[in-house]
Amino acid sequence: MKKVIIILGLLVLGAMLGAAVSVAAQDAPTPTPAPATPPPPPAWLGLEVADINPGLAEKLGINLGVVVVKVVEGGPAAQAGILVKDVILSAGGKAVNRVSDLMAVVKAAKVGDVLELAGRRGDTATTWKVTLAARPAPEPKSLFPNVPELAGVTREQLFSHVLSGQVNMLDKDGKPLKISWVAGVVTAVTETSVTLKPNDGTADLVYNTADVKVLGKLEKDAKVVVVSVNDQVRLIVRAKPLALPQIKRPVAPMPPKQPVPALPALKGVVNEMVSNGFVLAIGDQQRITVVLAKDIKVRPENAEVKAGVNVLVTGKKQDDGTFLASHVLIVPQVVPPKVIERGKDILKDRLDKARQEIALRVLKGEIKELAGSVLVLRIEGNDVKVVLAKDVKIVPGKDALKVGAKVAVSGKKQEDGTFVVSIIQVHVVNAAPKAPQPVMGGTGDRQQGTVARPANSQPVKSRPLALP
């Protein structure tokens, strides 16, 4: 029973006082070495900046520099007139393209130096002269953040703020059990008693230590807590770090940390909008349904996701094949001049290649052999076998296709080397002049049954039709 009460008293005491009481006092002050010369404090600009991402660059209409996202009130930057959303392009005559450039310039400077910054505020160019200062000391953190009334109380002062307390409980038989404690400083110690001056300023209390459990050495000026059960002293604890035994337990080796995989990203064009997201077109064939998360972040801000825009989405692929997007970045549809010139060169090369292919698809020669759907053409002394397609088109007609005819064939060369003809243009040989037709009546040539023709006229020749 005695051990149970001692443990209970320690638990209650620890819950009320916390770990801070245990470190409030030490047995003896630790000797400190001779102070060394402190290094000079680093220079401080008094603001926070961020790199300009593509979305912010589009919003601000710039491509370089850093943007101010926070200005410390009363700091050097605030005194120089710098505001949030100002853009810094140079510092101390050096270009600032990212945050690290500005940090390097400030790090190389000293407290009291005047640093000249150049940048923009909206569409107006401006400069600022900032006198660098030392960073102010941070405010001490409260031991009890949820109790603002104790703000400013240090660990050394905490014990003097602890007075007394009481907890009413029921024992195992259901009888009332009162556990109370009093904090104070020891003023006198004998073999059988200890005199305590309570922190609440009341009269000194004398406790008999003959049958009391004592944790720690009792001596004058020691800070202690006296725990009583039903107004009977059971425990006296000295408020100092307790040397608790460390129990070594076998610990299984931790597996090596795996790098956190980056969120998968998809890039494409919004094909169409659906109820909970949109359909993303990746290339000419792939289509993926993108579902927008509840806390979706779209950059640039206030941008509209609609059909036809280029986007870059990051998120997680779901079991049903959809893609749950957590971020959507709208990619500006701006083509650099170099890409345009390169595209022109590629288009020119493709056109030249197409012209060469078209030229190779037309053959001209004389029919040497004709057997069914196979022709043998004599082309510049070489025999070339071509195959007629089922739907071959012959101009002026199939009757003109015979051995010895001069033709121009158009088709396509197959992988096996044969040439399949889809169009044949036959060059018709000049026809013999027709016999004159007699004409009844008239005078001169007309009376002789001939048709008058100018002396310098030529016979009419049949013209071959041009290949399409």
Contacts for 21 with CB less than 8 Å, ≥ 6 apart: 13, 158, 159, 162, 225, 239
The answer on 434 and 464 residing in a single domain is: yes
Q: Which stretches of 300-381 are assigned E, i.e. beta strand?
A: 310-317, 323-331, 362-371, 374-379
The Cα 212–Cα 230 span in angstroms is: 14
Establish if 197 belongs to a structural domain. Answer: yes
What is residue 112's predicted lDDT score, i.e. its pLDDT?
92
Q: Is the pLDDT of residue 215 over 50?
A: yes
- What is the CATH number for 11? 2.40.50
- What is the CATH number for 106? 2.30.42.10
How much of the chain is helix, strand and coil, in % rounded to 5? Answer: 20, 40, 45
- Of 241, 245, 238, 199, nearest to 20 by C-alpha is 241
- Of 185, 156, 191, 162, nearest to 23 by C-alpha is 156
Establish if 411 belongs to a structural domain. Answer: yes
> How does pLDDT run across 372-394, given as a tens digit for each residue?
888 888 888 888 888 888 888 88
Backbone angles phi, psi at 403, to 5 degrees: -65, 135
The answer on 365 and 306 residing in a single domain is: no
> Can you tell me the mean pLDDT for 239-252?
58
Of the pLDDT bands very low, low, confident and very high (cuts 50, 70, 90), residue 465 is very low
Establish if 95 belongs to a structural domain. Answer: yes
**C-alpha 412: how far from its chain's center?**
50
Coil, strand or helix: which one is 15? helix
Question: What are 55's two structure tokens?
Answer: 């979305």
> How does pLDDT run across 140-167, given as a tens digit for each residue?
666 677 777 877 777 778 888 888 889 8
- What is the CATH number for 296? 2.40.50.140
The domain boundary, picked from 84, 108, 134, lies at 134
Backbone angles phi, psi at 257, to 5 degrees: -70, 130
Show the domain range for 276: 265-331
The answer on 21 and 58 residing in a single domain is: no
The answer on 309 and 180 residing in a single domain is: no
The answer on 111 and 47 residing in a single domain is: yes
Establish if 37 belongs to a structural domain. Answer: no
DSSP-assigned letter for residue 192: S
The domain boundary, picked from 186, 220, 238, lies at 238
Of the pLDDT bands very low, low, confident and very high (cuts 50, 70, 90), residue 114 is very high
Coil, strand or helix: which one is 203? coil
What are the beta bridge partners of residue 229?
179, 232
The domain boundary, picked from 134, 169, 186, lies at 134
Higher pLDDT, 462 or 271: 271
Establish if 338 belongs to a structural domain. Answer: no
The Cα 466–Cα 423 span in angstroms is: 11
The answer on 153 and 13 residing in a single domain is: yes
The answer on 123 and 60 residing in a single domain is: yes
Establish if 186 belongs to a structural domain. Answer: yes
> Can you tell me the mean pLDDT for 397-408?
85
The answer on 18 and 148 residing in a single domain is: yes
First to last CA, the chain: 113
What is residue 17's predicted lDDT score, i.e. its pLDDT?
45
The answer on 159 and 121 residing in a single domain is: no
Of the pLDDT bands very low, low, confident and very high (cuts 50, 70, 90), residue 22 is very low
Establish if 278 belongs to a structural domain. Answer: yes
> Can you tell me the mean pLDDT for 319-327?
87
Q: Is the pLDDT of residue 2 over 80?
A: no
Establish if 355 belongs to a structural domain. Answer: no
The Cα 49–Cα 88 span in angstroms is: 9
pTM of the predicted model as reported, rounded to 2 decimal places: 0.32
What total number of domains does the chain contain?
4
What is residue 330's predicted lDDT score, i.e. its pLDDT?
84
What is residue 240's predicted lDDT score, i.e. its pLDDT?
64
Q: Is the pLDDT of residue 368 over 70?
A: yes
The answer on 220 and 201 residing in a single domain is: yes
The answer on 148 and 22 residing in a single domain is: yes
> How does pLDDT run across 26-54, given as a tens digit for each residue?
444 556 666 677 788 899 999 999 988 77
What is residue 258's predicted lDDT score, i.e. its pLDDT?
64
The answer on 458 and 386 residing in a single domain is: yes
